[in-house]
Amino acid sequence: MLIGAMLPAAVFVAGLGLWFGQFGGNGPAFWSGGARETAGLVSVVKEGWNVPAAPAVSAEHAVVIERSSGAVLYEKGAGDRAYPASTTKILTTLLAIESGRLDEVCIVSDFAAAQEGSSIYAEPGEEITLRDLCYGMMLRSGNDAAAAAAEHLAGSSEAFAEQMNRRAVELGAQESHFVNPSGLHDEAHYTTAYDLALIARAAMENPEFRAMAAAKTWTTGEDTEVKRTFGNKNKVLQQYEGGNGIKIGYTTATGRTLVASSQRDGMEVICVVLNAPNWFGDSYALMDWAHENFALREVASDGETLQAVPLTGGLRDHVLVGVDRGFWYPEEKPAEGAGSDVRWKLVLEGDVQAPVSRWQEAGEVHFYRGDEFVGSRVLYFMEDVPAQ
């Protein structure tokens, strides 16, 4: 859309490494350097939008986000501290997948086998693959499976909880603290609905996790001593149109918790309800409201060239940059007609020096609605430019 022919519309400030541009359409501006920004708990709904109020829900804490952008469509006490129960296992399973060790065989300890609550009924000394433990966590909510996976990966549940806390912070979940891999109640084991949505969003971007979350049944593999078939306790998969995940939870102290996801008409939403007596009803009502009132608008398409930036020491004085993965943002239905009010700014790490190669990382593109940061993508050079 925006290519090198538009370069004269920009102004380059020599010696400062800054390039400011203002174009039509999305009107990008450009600067070098600066800290990475993160989106926060701010609803996309703007004054003047014809979006009806969200339905009343029983949940004490709730949030609905659009998965691809992370945009918040609805929230109720979503930044307040709450207890996740077995939705904790979303992060436990994600860490297990990210370890790259799913095919390793784990030996169930006495400690793991003795975990209270939901179980896959693993026996002390039993051998079972990490992959099967993950399915046991996601489908049956096995506390024994979570403890066995944690011990295999980190040596103990306590050491694994430290890994969980580090990963949560990396994902932007700043208000969470985990002390065990299963979600058994502990006053020091807490999160927020929004933090849990961020964790779920990252998990649902992982193809292996998505397969686990969407599985209605799973039969353990050939390397498992005891053959088991797990049925998924998450009724979202059976009851809700477009339902594709992800995890339920419950303890007496915590109440009912649910992280649900669904996809309709190209838009996927994640709904978190905590301490929700009507957990499935709340989730279905909120997801219905989201799908009925919002649609995604394309801001940048897959593989799109965004604009040209100055280049030093090359056969020409500029190079095209763009994205490999597009960016979409939810707006009120119908998301048609006038262009999106989302704009972008390009961020490079200093002046660009030749030579550069196509698909070499160039920096980041940050997306804003007004002054509000709403997301980012990796920025790439879209062509080869040799040095002089």
Residues labelled as active-site residues? 86, 89, 141
DSSP for residue 100:
T
The number of residues making up the chain comes to 388
Q: Please tell me the distance from the alpha carbon of residue 171 to that of residue 127, in angstroms, as a whole number.
A: 32
Residue 166, Cβ neighbours under 10 Å: how many?
10
Q: What is the CA radius of gyration of the chain?
A: 23
Helices (H), 295-359: none
Residues 285 and 349 sit within 8 Å (Cβ to Cβ): no
Task: State how far the alpha carbon of 120 is from the alpha carbons of 154, 166, 227, in Å.
Answer: 21, 28, 11
> 122 by DSSP, 3-state: which?
coil
In the chain, what is the straight-line distance between the N-terminal and C-terminal CA atoms, in Å? 28
Q: Which uninterrupted H or E stretch holds 138?
A: helix 130-140
Looking at the DSSP bridge assignments, the partners of residue 372 are 369
Q: Are 197 and 272 in contact (CB under 8 A)?
A: yes
Type of residue found at 62: A
Measured CA to CA, the distance from residue 99 to residue 292 in angstroms comes to 38
The Cβ-side half-sphere exposure at 19, using a 13 Å CA radius, reads 23
What one-letter code names the amino acid at 10?
A: A
Name the region of 97 (left: φ>0; alpha: ψ -120 to 50; beta: rest).
alpha
Q: Please give the DSSP secondary-structure letter assigned to residue 275.
A: S
Residue type, 212: M
